[in-house]
Chains A and B, each alone.
Chain A
Amino acid sequence: MEALKVGRPSPAARPLPWLGVVAVGLGFALLALFIWSWWGRSDLAGTGQKLLILAGFAAAAYGVARVANFLAAVRTGPLVGFIPAGLTLALVLLTVEALLRAYQVPAGLIPTPTRVFATLWAVRDVLLQDAYQTVVLEAFTGYLVGCGLGVATALLVSRFVFLERGFLPYATAFSSIPIVALAPVLVKMMGLEWPSKAAIVAITVFFPVVVGTFRGLTEVSPLSLELMRSYAAGEAQQYRWLRIPNALPFIFNALKLGTTLAMIGSIVGEFFGAGGQGLGFRIQIEAGRFGFDIVWSAIIVASVVGIAWYGLVAWLERRMTGWHVSFRE
Chain B
Amino acid sequence: MLARLRSPNLVPMLAVALVIAALYYPLMLLANVPVAQRALDSGAALECGSALECATQLRSPVLPSPQQLWRGFANLLFPLDSPNAIPLNAAVTALETLVGLALATVVGFFFAVGIVASRAFERSLLPWIVASQTVPIVAIAPMLVVLLGQYGVQGWIPKAIIAAYIAFFPITIGVAKGLRSPDPLSLDLMKTYNASSWQTYLKLRFPASLPYLFTAFKVAMTAALIGAIVAEISTISFQGIGKMLAENSRASDVVATWVIMIASAALGILLVALVGWLEKVVTPWKR
CA A288 to CA B147, docked complex, whole Å: 12
Query: Which chain B residues border A7 with CB–CB below 8 Å?
Result: 197
Does A303 have its Cβ within 8 Å of any Cβ on chain B? yes
Q: B138 touching A68 by the CB < 8 A rule? A: no
CA A87 to CA B128, docked complex, whole Å: 11
Q: B269 touching A177 by the CB < 8 A rule? A: yes
Q: A263 touching B136 by the CB < 8 A rule? A: yes
Q: Which stretch from B40-48, B68-76, B116-124, B279-287 is at the chain A interface? A: B116-124
Interface code B108-127, partner A: CB below 8 Å = 1, 0 otherwise? Answer: 00000000111111111111
Give the contacting residue for B245; candidates A167, A181, A298; CB below 8 A.
Answer: A181
Given A170-B13, A185-B261, A268-B230, A176 and B133 contact (CB-CB distance below 8 Å) = no
Q: A68 touching B119 by the CB < 8 A rule? A: yes
Does B184 have its Cβ within 8 Å of any Cβ on chain A? yes
Give the contacting residue for B62; candidates A163, A178, A189; CB below 8 A.
Answer: A189
CA A110 to CA B265, docked complex, whole Å: 35
Does B157 have its Cβ within 8 Å of any Cβ on chain A? no
Q: B229 touching A181 by the CB < 8 A rule? A: yes
Q: A3 touching B187 by the CB < 8 A rule? A: yes
Query: Which chain A residues border B57 with CB–CB below 8 Å?
Result: none
CA A280 to CA B229, docked complex, whole Å: 16
- Shortest distance between the CB of B37 and any CB in chain A (Å): 18
Q: B257 touching A177 by the CB < 8 A rule? A: no
Q: B265 touching A178 by the CB < 8 A rule? A: yes
Given A260-B134, A310-B134, A181 and B139 contact (CB-CB distance below 8 Å) = no
Q: Which stretch from B21-29, B77-85, B98-106, B218-226 is at the chain A interface? A: B218-226
Give the contacting residue for A184; candidates B121, B128, B257, B271; CB below 8 A.
Answer: B257
- Shortest distance between the CB of A35 and any CB in chain B (Å): 22
Query: Which chain A residues border B245 with CB–CB below 8 Å?
Result: 180-181, 184
Give the contacting residue for A303; candidates B135, B218, B246, B265; CB below 8 A.
Answer: B135
Mostly, the B contact residues are helix
- Which B residue's beta carbon lies closest to that of A66? B120
Does A85 have its Cβ within 8 Å of any Cβ on chain B? yes
Query: Which chain B residues border A119 with CB–CB below 8 Å?
Result: none
- Which A residue's beta carbon lies closest to that of B131? A307
CA A185 to CA B11, docked complex, whole Å: 31
CA A99 to CA B205, docked complex, whole Å: 38
Give the contacting residue for B268; candidates A65, A110, A178, A295; CB below 8 A.
Answer: A178
Query: Which chain B residues border A303 with CB–CB below 8 Å?
Result: 131, 134-136
List of 6 A-B pairs having minimum Cβ-Cβ separation, nearest first = A166-B12, A306-B134, A72-B119, A68-B120, A166-B16, A287-B142
B interface list, Cβ under 8 A from A: 8-9, 11-16, 60, 62-63, 116-128, 131, 133-140, 142-143, 146-147, 150, 180, 184, 187-188, 197, 200, 218, 221-222, 225-226, 229-230, 233-234, 241-242, 245-246, 248-249, 252, 254, 257-258, 260-261, 264-265, 267-269, 271-272
27 A–B pairs (Cβ distance < 8 Å), ordered by A:
A3-B184, A4-B187, A6-B200, A68-B121, A68-B123, A71-B123, A73-B119, A85-B127, A166-B9, A169-B9, A176-B269, A176-B271, A177-B269, A178-B225, A179-B226, A180-B229, A180-B233, A180-B245, A185-B261, A188-B257, A260-B133, A263-B134, A268-B230, A268-B233, A272-B233, A280-B139, A283-B143
